[in-house]
Structure 1
Amino acid sequence: MPERDAREPVTGRTPVLAGAGEKGRNAMARPAAGGRRSAAPRRIDAARARFIAGFLAAPVLLYAVYVIAPYAQAFSIALTDWRGVSASPRFVGLENFRRLAGDSVFWTAVGHNALLLVLLPLLTIAIALSFAFLLNAGGANGGGVAGSRFYRVVFFFPQVLAVAIVAVLFQQVFRPDGSGMLNAPLIALGLEPVGFLSDPGVAFWSILGVLVWQAVGFYVVLFSAGMASIPREMYEAARIDGAGPGRLFFRITLPLLWDTVQVGWIYLGIAALDVFAVVWVMTPERGGPDHSTTVMAAEIYRNAFQYFRFGYASAMGVVLFFFTVAFAAAALRLSRRERVEY
Structure 2
Amino acid sequence: MHHGKYTFVVSFLLVPVGIYGLFVVSPYLQAIYISLTDWTGLTGGQTFVGLANYARLLDDEQFLIALRNNGILVVVVPAVTVLLGLFLASMLNVGRRGRSGVEGVRGSAVYRVVYFFPMVLSVAIIGVLFKYVFAPTQAGGILNGLLRAVGLDGWAQPWLGDPDFAFWIVLLVMIWSFVGFYVVLFSAAMQSIPKEIYEAALLDGAGRFMTFRQVTLPLVWDTVQVGWVYLAIQAMDAFALVHIMLGIGGGPSRSGDVLGLALYRSAFNSYRFGYASAIGVVLLLLTLVVAAVFMRVARRERVELS
1:184 to 126, 131, 145: 145
Pairing of 1:300-311 with structure 2 (within 5 A):
300-311=263-274
The aligned counterpart of 1:63 is: 20
* Distance apart, 1:46 and its partner CA: 4.0
The aligned counterpart of 2:39 is: 82
Distance in 2 separating the partners of 1:127 and 1:106: 31
* Distance apart, 1:47 and its partner CA: 4.2
* Distance apart, 1:184 and its partner CA: 1.9
2:77 to 100, 120, 132: 120
Matched, 1:229 2:229: no
* Distance apart, 1:246 and its partner CA: 0.8
The aligned counterpart of 1:275 is: 238
Distance in 2 separating the partners of 1:183 and 1:48: 70
SS of 1:287's equivalent in the other structure is coil
Contact 2:248–2:261 (CA under 8 A) maintained in structure 1: no
Deviations 1:140-178 (CA, angstroms, capped at 9, x unpaired):
422112232222222111111111111001111112315
Matched, 1:257 2:220: yes
Distance in 1 separating the partners of 2:8 and 2:122: 41
The aligned counterpart of 1:135 is: 92
Distance in 1 separating the partners of 2:105 and 2:7: 54
Moved more, 81-90 or 299-308: 81-90
Contact 1:279–1:286 (CA under 8 A) maintained in structure 2: no
Deviations 1:100-130 (CA, angstroms, capped at 9, x unpaired):
1100100110000001111000110011111
The aligned counterpart of 1:5 is: none
Distance in 2 separating the partners of 1:239 and 1:211: 36
Contact 2:135–2:161 (CA under 8 A) maintained in structure 1: no
SS of 2:57's equivalent in the other structure is helix
Structure 1 portions without partners, runs of 5+: 1-42
Distance in 2 separating the partners of 1:211 and 1:49: 48
TM-score normalised per structure 2: 0.94
Deviations 1:170-225 (CA, angstroms, capped at 9, x unpaired):
11111231553321232121513212201111111100111001100111111001
Pairing of 1:186-335 with structure 2 (within 5 A):
186-188=147-149, 189-192=151-154, 193-284=156-247, 286-335=249-298
Moved more, 71-80 or 82-91: 82-91
The aligned counterpart of 1:103 is: 60
Distance in 1 separating the partners of 2:189 and 2:65: 38
2:116 to 141, 147, 156: 156
Distance in 2 separating the partners of 1:81 and 1:148: 57
AA aligned opposite 1:162: S
Deviations 1:242-263 (CA, angstroms, capped at 9, x unpaired):
1121111100010111111111
Q: Number of aligned pairs?
A: 299
Looking at CA atoms only, which structure, 1 or 2, has the larger radius of gyration?
A: 1
Give % identity.
Answer: 49
Matched, 1:144 2:108: no
Give the CA RMSD over aligned residues: 1.4
Contact 1:197–1:284 (CA under 8 A) maintained in structure 2: no
Distance in 2 separating the partners of 1:149 and 1:57: 47
SS of 2:153's equivalent in the other structure is coil
TM-score normalised per structure 1: 0.84
Structure 2 portions without partners, runs of 5+: none
Distance in 1 separating the partners of 2:74 and 2:209: 27
Moved more, 60-69 or 145-154: 145-154
AA aligned opposite 1:261: V
Contact 1:178–1:187 (CA under 8 A) maintained in structure 2: no
Contact 1:139–1:146 (CA under 8 A) maintained in structure 2: no
Distance in 2 separating the partners of 1:55 and 1:206: 50
